[in-house]
């Protein structure tokens, strides 16, 4: 499964106001739980926060990948947001984060979780992909970056 397959334009948000890591995780929780009556954004936030306490998901280069498993997730879900202003995310390279890609995976899908996370980290490790994501003007353009990078 590719990143483009788990994300739709409705899950992509640009110029989001989230002045702190906590607020960014709250917003991501809302986006990951949208459209699924089985998911509660508060519970998704708790799952993301619990994972974040194990170690920052700030990947570096201004990107973060908060992710968690959740008992009520029916399938792998992705969402992303480009922040209006970079924030401290305790990233490995100590750089502020301006782009956040979130993943929510069903509890029983450990292999899928690891595979999707590795694929996403690999994509975001590419300078060209990062630049194209930052320069995208619409959610559809962001999705196109993931789509074209996934097949490359």
Instruction: Look at residues 28, 19, 31, 100 and name the one whose alpha carbon lies nearest to residue 59.
Output: 100
Catalytic residues: 67
DSSP string computed for 62-129:
TEE--EEEETT--S-EEEEEEEEEEE----TT-PPEEEEEEEEEETT-HHHHHHHHHHHHHHHT-HHH
Residue 140 and residue 56: Cα distance in Å, rounded? 28
Degrees to nearest 5, angle at CA 109 with 142 and 77 = 25
């Amino acid at each position: 499964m590719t990143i483009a397959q788990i994300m739709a334009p409705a899950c992509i948000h640009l110029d989001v106001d989230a002045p702190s890591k906590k607020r960014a995780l709250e917003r991501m929780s809302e986006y990951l739980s949208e459209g699924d009556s089985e998911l509660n954004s508060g519970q998704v936030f708790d799952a993301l926060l619990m994972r974040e306490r194990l170690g920052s998901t700030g990947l570096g280069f201004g990107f973060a990948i908060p992710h968690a498993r959740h008992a009520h997730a029916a399938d792998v879900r992705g969402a992303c947001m480009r922040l209006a202003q970079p924030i401290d995310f305790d990233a490995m390279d100590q750089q502020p984060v301006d782009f956040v890609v979130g993943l929510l995976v069903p509890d029983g899908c450990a292999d899928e979780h690891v595979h999707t996370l590795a694929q996403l980290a690999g994509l975001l490790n590419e300078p060209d992909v990062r630049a194209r994501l930052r320069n995208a003007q619409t959610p559809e353009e962001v999705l196109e970056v993931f789509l074209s990078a996934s097949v490359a």
